Structure 1
Amino acid sequence: MRAISGLWRWRHNPLRRATDLAEAWVALGALLLILVVAPSVGSLVGGLAQGTLQESVRQQRASRHLVTATVVRKVTGAPLDTDPEAATGRDRRTRVVADWTAPDGTPHHGAAMTSLDTPRPGDHFTIWTDQQGRTVARPLDPATAATHAVLAGFGAALLTAGLVEACRRLIVWRMVRRRYARWDQAWDKAGPDWGRTGTGS
């Protein structure tokens, strides 16, 4: 982006080349795109993600229910696990066999994860199920959804800025290649021996 300052410096400089000004204008255009378009894209993507994720939160809260389960027995030798959608990954969970009643009133018996430190038969704990009583992950938290939306918007803005900068570099690279090609043509026109060592004079 140093070429931007060249727009002022090169205005009346007799050594100014057209390509110098062109590079400076390309850099200025890229800077304006990064400052204006990238935040706009990030805001748009973040807003769309926020709407989609919050709708998912509402759907999950409507379709998932918190029910009370009763420990039948602990599953021995089962590895400790964590809920991937939990607000904190530090919650240690133990697999147990439990009984619970689904929101539609049907009884269920099966494996479930509990955060009880030492689950014993008869202990009660809560699990998330769907309407039919199948165990599901707990619904997405609104704050977590908002965080994901902000990260999506920030990522989109960074990606846009990176693409603009990559385009700027590609344009400048092509301009420099074209400049070198013109220099080679100028050297060829100057003559086969002019300026070369070992040709004598």
Structure 2
Amino acid sequence: MWTAMGVWRWRRNPLCRRTDLVEAWVAFAALVCVLVVAPAVGWAVGAQVDDTLQRAVREQRQERYLVPAVVVRPAPDPPAGAGADPASNPGAQRQTPQRTQIMAAWTAPDGSSHQGRVPAAEEPPRTGDQFRIWTDTEGRVVGRPLDPTAANFHAGMVGFAAALAAAALMETVRRLVVRRLMHRRYIRLDRAWAAVGPDWGRAGAGS
């Protein structure tokens, strides 16, 4: 920004080089892109992601149902060979706490009866306790539908990340262009010095 303003002020100065003007215009273009293009990219990406997530929210709300269930009995312990022995690794259970598993019975939205192993809604579970679980139309246990507010939050974060990525890309391009311009300046300076250097300070050489 300051480079663009500085070069624009002294653009008519005879010492102003063409590369200075190019660098100023590149800096100005990068600034416009960061302030205008990057937010537009973030908004477009966020809107697209939000539309996709909201569609998923509507589909899940149409396909998932909250049905009443009843605790039948505590679920049997898994076989001894199904996992590591907690006694051999006392810290494993503390590091990965799990909810108590119970055997529950419920009726699916299509009227079919089901019984299966699900996490307990309360601790400790008691036989006959009633709670609710999410199932599909046929009674299969599914996860909780995505919340619209959570979908908006995720879409906003994705849009923000896209805007930052676009701004970073534009700044990277600007730096590469400036680096190329500086390289060209040094090459021209070396050529000019090679032309006048041998005669520098010599009498009658015009230096």
TM bin, normalised by shorter chain, reads 0.7 to 0.9
**Residue matched to 1:85:** none
Identical counterparts, % of pairs: 54
> In structure 1, what residue type is equivalent to 2:40?
S
Give RMSD over aligned pairs: 2.2
Q: What TM-score do the two structures reach when normalised by structure 1?
A: 0.82
Q: How does 1:1-201 map to 2 (within 5 A)?
A: 1-75=1-75, 80-81=97-98, 93-191=99-197
CA shift for structure 1 position 107: 1.6
Please tell me whether the aligned partners of residues 96 and 111 of structure 1 are also in contact (alpha carbons under 8 angstroms).
yes
Listed as ranges, the gaps of 5+ residues in structure 1 are: 82-92, 196-201
After superposition, give the CA deviation of every residue in 1:92-119 in whole Å (9 maximum; x if it has no partner): x433221111111222121112331211
SS of 1:71's partner is: strand
Larger relative helix fraction: 2
Please tell me whether the aligned partners of residues 99 and 108 of structure 1 are also in contact (alpha carbons under 8 angstroms).
yes
After superposition, give the CA deviation of every residue in 1:139-196 in whole Å (9 maximum; x if it has no partner): 001111111111121111111111111111111111111111222222332356969x
Cα distance in 1, alignment partners of residues 115 and 198 from structure 2: 92
Please tell me whether the aligned partners of residues 47 and 149 of structure 1 are also in contact (alpha carbons under 8 angstroms).
yes
Q: How many residues align?
A: 184
Cα distance in 1, alignment partners of residues 159 and 173 from structure 2: 21
SS of 2:11's partner is: coil
**Which of structures 1 and 2 has the bigger CA Rg?**
2
Q: What TM-score do the two structures reach when normalised by structure 2?
A: 0.80
Cα distance in 2, alignment partners of residues 187 and 11 from structure 1: 25
> In structure 1, what residue type is equivalent to 2:48?
L
> In structure 1, what residue type is equivalent to 2:117?
A
> In structure 2, what residue type is equivalent to 1:31?
L
Cα distance in 2, alignment partners of residues 129 and 163 from structure 1: 45
Structure 1 residues 110, 16: closer, same or farther in 2, change over 3 A? same
